[in-house]
């Protein structure tokens, strides 16, 4: 009986790590009129719950982070020349952290399925300045 309890306890302790939520640190970088970027501490995670911990490290420029699910690995987001932004209504936006002033931070918790994504700052001109980064969600291993 004691051996059976030990095995059950080991399974209970090991199981949560297989389904642990992932955290991705995101830095929003750059000022108006210059090069901008989105920096991630990891470019891929297993499918499931993901928390994006976003910080705007710019000195004077507000930013946001939008999670977009792509239809295919080769899909390119189109920037509307009139607005100088991506039309989010035509895409699969899964959430965003918006309105981050310089130095501010915010979190976004989402359930992500396997596939190809892009993280963008969709403020006017920011995608064209470099604020777009690919992100991959892989099938969770069991």
pLDDT tens string 3-62? 444 443 433 344 444 456 899 999 999 999 889 999 999 999 999 999 999 999 999 999
Predicted model pTM: 0.84
Could you tell me the pLDDT band of residue 141, with boundaries at 50, 70 and 90?
confident
Per-residue pLDDT tens for 32-44? 988 999 999 999 9
Identify the DSSP state of 30: -
Query: What is the side-by-side strand order in the sheet with 37-40?
Result: 37-40, 22-29, 48-56, 105-112
Measured over all CA atoms, what is the biggest interatomic distance in the chain, rounded to whole angstroms? Answer: 72
Give the 3-state secondary structure of residue 42.
Answer: coil
Six token digits for residue 38: 């989105």
Per-residue model confidence (pLDDT) at position 6: 43
Six token digits for residue 74: 């080769």
Query: Does 119 have pLDDT greater than 70?
Result: yes
Per-residue pLDDT tens for 59-116? 999 999 999 999 988 898 999 999 999 999 889 999 999 999 999 999 999 999 999 9
Q: CA 52, CA 96: separation in Å to the nearest integer?
A: 9
Domains of the chain (ranges, CATH numbers): 26-138 (2.60.40.420)
Per-residue model confidence (pLDDT) at position 9: 40
Give the 3-state secondary structure of residue 3.
Answer: helix
Per-residue model confidence (pLDDT) at position 14: 41
Q: CA 13, CA 119: separation in Å to the nearest integer?
A: 34
């Amino acid at each position: 009986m004691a051996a059976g309890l030990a095995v059950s306890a080991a399974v209970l302790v090991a199981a949560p790590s297989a389904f642990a939520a992932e955290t991705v640190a995101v830095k929003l970088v750059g000022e108006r009129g210059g090069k901008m970027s989105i920096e991630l501490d990891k470019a891929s995670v297993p499918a499931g719950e993901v928390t994006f911990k976003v910080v705007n490290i710019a000195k004077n420029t507000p930013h946001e982070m939008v999670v977009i699910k792509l239809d295919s690995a080769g899909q390119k987001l189109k920037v509307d020349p009139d607005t100088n932004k991506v039309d989010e209504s035509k895409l699969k936006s899964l959430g965003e952290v918006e309105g981050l002033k310089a130095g501010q931070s915010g979190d976004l918790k989402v359930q992500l399925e396997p596939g190809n994504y892009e993280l963008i700052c969709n403020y006017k001109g920011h995608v064209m300045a470099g604020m777009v980064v690919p992100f991959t969600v892989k099938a969770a291993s069991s």
